[in-house]
Amino acid sequence: MAQSLEAPETTPRVILFDLDNTLFDHYHSMRTAVVAVQKRYITLQSKGVEDLIEHYNSALQQAYDAYLARDITYEEADIKKVRLFFTDLGLPEPSMGDIKEFRSIYKPAYQESRRATPGSIETLVRLRERTDYHLAILTNGQIEDQETKAKDIGVYQHVDCVITSEEACYAKPDVRIFQYALQKFDASAETAIMVGDSAESDIKGAIDAHLDRAILYSPVTKEYHQLILGQKIPIVHDMPSSHSSNASMSLADLSSRVLELIW
């Protein structure tokens, strides 16, 4: 029997990146916005910035979790997080007018300070140049918001697509959003990698979906591995140093670490 001369088909390979606090420096924008709010509210000026950030982030997570669980709408989550922020600080519950004023300060400051995390753009570019992996963003949130965010920070043009929980109808860590993403590329779990900052949403979700590999992004930890669900998960972290005369070295470290882990 004559052998076929056609090249064997190969299963597409995919790297899925989380957006918030992985490619997008959410903490920086949140801090900038909270500082802007503090300057406008006398009742907040006696409180420390880090304390305010901690309270706002807690309120944000509670409201966002309720939205992802479909207990409230996205618009209701916007209201809920401001109310929780004020009441958690021991302040009177804000009126709708107060919430509107708060958002008019917070939202522009947050959007105008958006930036990519150190090394993220360089990492995507290097992966594009040096591997045959498809690159995609897999994020919880609304399509328009997350795509706009990706464009604002300069990563949108370096990925094949942005996949959101709104589009997939499931939120991380639900395995079905990972399966949805793989179907986009006709890829299998055995040829897919997840990179994200959340041990719960990104890493545990990827493990449960049986992805080939999960990589934890954590710029603050000094560890290189973390045990999650009985698996030794590698950690990547950029380490930009104020004492370094060449910041690109730390950026190269991040992309090199990802390349090292997938080869």
Q: Which of 64, 81, 112 is the last residue of a domain?
A: 112
| Rounded CA separation 88/192 (Å) | 41
Q: Give residue-wise pLDDT tens across range 111-160.
A: 999 999 988 999 999 999 888 899 999 999 999 999 999 999 999 999 99
Residues 222 and 196 occupy one common structural domain: yes
Q: What is the pLDDT of residue 230?
A: 92
Number of other CB atoms surrounding residue 108 within 10 Å:
12
The model's pLDDT over 176-200, given as tens digits with 9 standing for 90+, comes to 999 999 999 999 999 999 999 999 9
pLDDT greater than 90 at residue 210: yes
Of the ranges 40-54, 173-187, 217-231, which one carries the lowest mean pLDDT score? 217-231
CATH number assigned to the domain comprising residue 152: 3.40.50.1000
| Residues 203, 252 within the same domain | yes
Same domain, 128 and 226: yes
Choose the final residue of a domain: 112, 145, 163: 112
Residue 94 sits in the same domain as residue 151: no
Residue 261's identity, in one-letter code, is L
Rounded distance, CA 211 to CA 42, Å? 50
- pLDDT band at 243; cut points 50, 70, 90: very low
pLDDT (0 to 100) of residue 237? 75
* pLDDT over 70 at 247, yes or no: no
Q: Are residues 101 and 174 in the same domain?
A: no
Query: Region 235-263: what's the mean pLDDT?
Result: 52
Residue percentage of the chain with pLDDT more than 70: 86
Give the domain extent around 152. 14-25+116-262
Query: Quick check: 61 pLDDT over 60?
Result: yes
Supply the DSSP symbol for 203: I
Q: Indicate whether 185 and 101 sit together in one domain.
A: no
* Greater model confidence, 223 or 95: 95
Quick check: 253 pLDDT over 60?
Answer: no
Cα separation of 45 and 43, whole Å? 6
**Residue 50 Cα distances to 38, 96, 177, 237, angstroms:** 11, 26, 34, 23
Query: What is the number of structural domains in the chain?
Result: 2
Please give, one letter per residue, the 3-state secondary structure of the chain: CCCCCCCCCCCCCEEEECCECCCECHHHHHHHHHHHHHHHCHHHCCCCHHHHHHHHHHHHHHHHHHHHCCCCCHHHHHHHHHHHHHHHCCCCCCCHHHHHHHHHHHHHHHHHCCCECCCHHHHHHHHHHHCCCEEEEEECCCHHHHHHHHHHCCCHHHCCEEEEHHHHCCCCCCHHHHHHHHHHCCCCHHHEEEEECCHHHHHHHHHHCCCCEEEEECCCCCCCEEEECCEEEEEECCCCCCCCCCCHHHHHHHHHHHHHHHC
Residue 2 belongs to some domain of the structure: no
